[in-house]
Amino acid sequence: MEQRGRLIVTALITGGMFLAGGLASAAQDATPAATGDDHPAHIHVGACDNLDPNPTYMLSDVKPIAASEAATSGSEAAIPVEQSVTTVDAPLDKLATGGYAINIHHSAADIGTYIACGNLTGAVDNGTLAVGLRELNDSGHSGIAILTAKGEQTDVNVYLAQGLSGAAMGHMATSTTPAANTASSAGAAAASPAAAQNATRVDIKNLAYNPATVEIPVGGTVTWTNSDSVPHTVTGMDRSVLQSGTMDPGATFSKTFDKAGTYDYFCEFHANMKGTVVVK
Ligand SMILES: [Cu+2]
């Protein structure tokens, strides 16, 4: 369990580097002190951009992990991690079908402010589904949820940390990020805190794009994941604007949209598969 926890913390930090494109910059900054607020967490029906506000499954509050563990898990500038561990009364197969999202609320007193959210979609690998929880409402919190199948139940582990994306730092929020201008790959796009907030995911499953229509701000990024067992493509009506090429099962493809417009796309292999990205 100890080892597993460590692996997960490693995964969290790796994920943070992906989001931030530079953990070093975050680590050099003073990490914001924990606020002491425990964060209520739920599984809701819907997706993060369209949640049923009424929670379906309760998770335990996200709270700081014992200080000793955080202090010994890395360098002296280790970023504290908050955790929630819950066994949910639903099988992972049901939770992972794309109809649910994990949503973290600011506090019991401020339940209406959401601080992080992640859609429960993607390939279940060896009984485990891991998803990112992206920052909401400039909370500075982001993290990872790891769901493990346990028969008719699912163990849900949520890890949050502040400042992984750098967005919590005042000077980061006001500085310009040249990376955003040159962003074309997923990694470069994610290097900008703003772009990370504007990241949207589309799951390709059962010969369909899910959701079929997504709306993002100008400069936002869409990442498609092929969760089917056959290859697909994400191909714009104008192929010079949007063309993933063959996406084998498990593959992902990201595209940053720098111009407002409505981008219809389809699959080269399955002409009845259609989707739309609205950029405004
Ligand atoms: Cu297809």
Residue ranges of the domains in the chain? 2-162, 188-279
Quote the pLDDT of residue 50. 82
Q: What is the pLDDT of residues 231-253, one digit of tens each?
A: 999 999 988 999 999 999 999 99
Instruction: State in Å: Cα 206 to ligand 1 middle.
Output: 9
Quote the pLDDT of residue 188. 39
Closest CA to 167 of 122, 134, 200, 145: 134
Give, in degrees to the nearest 5, the angle at Cα 251 between 207 and 13: 130
Instruction: State in Å: Cα 207 to ligand 1 middle.
Output: 6
Quote the pLDDT of residue 78. 75
Instruction: State in Å: Cα 80 to ligand 1 middle.
Output: 42
Is-contact 233 227, C-beta < 8 A?
no
Give, in degrees to the nearest 5, the angle at Cα 216 between 214 and 220: 125
Quote the pLDDT of residue 210. 96
Backbone angles phi, psi at 81, to 5 degrees: -120, 140
Q: Which residues contact 249 (CB under 8 A, 6 or more apart)?
A: 226, 227, 228, 229, 230, 231
Element of type H or E holding 276:
strand 274-279
CA dihedral in degrees (234, 116, 169, 71; nearest 10)?
-110
Q: What is the pLDDT of residues 42-75, one digit of tens each?
A: 998 889 888 776 778 889 899 988 754 545 555 5
Quote the pLDDT of residue 105. 83
Instruction: State in Å: Cα 208 to ligand 1 middle.
Output: 8
Quote the pLDDT of residue 170. 38
- Cα(83)–Cα(9) distance, integer angstroms: 11
Quote the pLDDT of residue 111. 74
- Cα(210)–Cα(100) distance, integer angstroms: 12
Quote the pLDDT of residue 51. 79
Closest CA to 26 of 198, 179, 173: 173
Instruction: State in Å: Cα 149 to ligand 1 middle.
Output: 28
188-279 has which fold?
Immunoglobulin-like (2.60.40)
Instruction: State in Å: Cα 201 to ligand 1 middle.
Output: 17
Closest CA to 164 of 35, 16, 29: 16
Instruction: State in Å: Cα 231 to ligand 1 middle.
Output: 6
Instruction: State in Å: Cα 247 to ligand 1 middle.
Output: 9
Instruction: State in Å: Cα 48 to ligand 1 middle.
Output: 25
Quote the pLDDT of residue 171. 37
Instruction: State in Å: Cα 278 to ligand 1 middle.
Output: 21
Instruction: State in Å: Cα 237 to ligand 1 middle.
Output: 15
- Cα(211)–Cα(111) distance, integer angstroms: 27
Instruction: State in Å: Cα 246 to ligand 1 middle.
Output: 9
Burial class of 226 by CB neighbour count within 10 A (0 to 12, 13 to 18, 19+): buried
Instruction: State in Å: Cα 230 to ligand 1 middle.
Output: 7
Instruction: State in Å: Cα 143 to ligand 1 middle.
Output: 31
What averages of pLDDT result for each successive group of 10 residues across the chain (280 residues)? 48 44 38 60 88 81 72 62 91 90 84 86 86 87 91 92 61 37 39 56 96 95 96 92 94 96 94 94
Any bridge partners for residue 105, and if so which? 114
Instruction: State in Å: Cα 116 to ligand 1 middle.
Output: 31
Instruction: State in Å: Cα 191 to ligand 1 middle.
Output: 30
- Cα(258)–Cα(160) distance, integer angstroms: 30
Burial class of 268 by CB neighbour count within 10 A (0 to 12, 13 to 18, 19+): middle
Quote the pLDDT of residue 225. 97
Instruction: State in Å: Cα 13 to ligand 1 middle.
Output: 34
Instruction: State in Å: Cα 265 to ligand 1 middle.
Output: 11
Any bridge partners for residue 203, and if so which? 210, 225
Q: Do the bridges between strand 274-279 and strand 213-216 make them parallel or antiparallel, or are there none, so unpaired?
A: parallel
Residue 53, preceding peptide bond in cis (omega within 30° of 0)? no
Tokens, residue 201? 């995911």
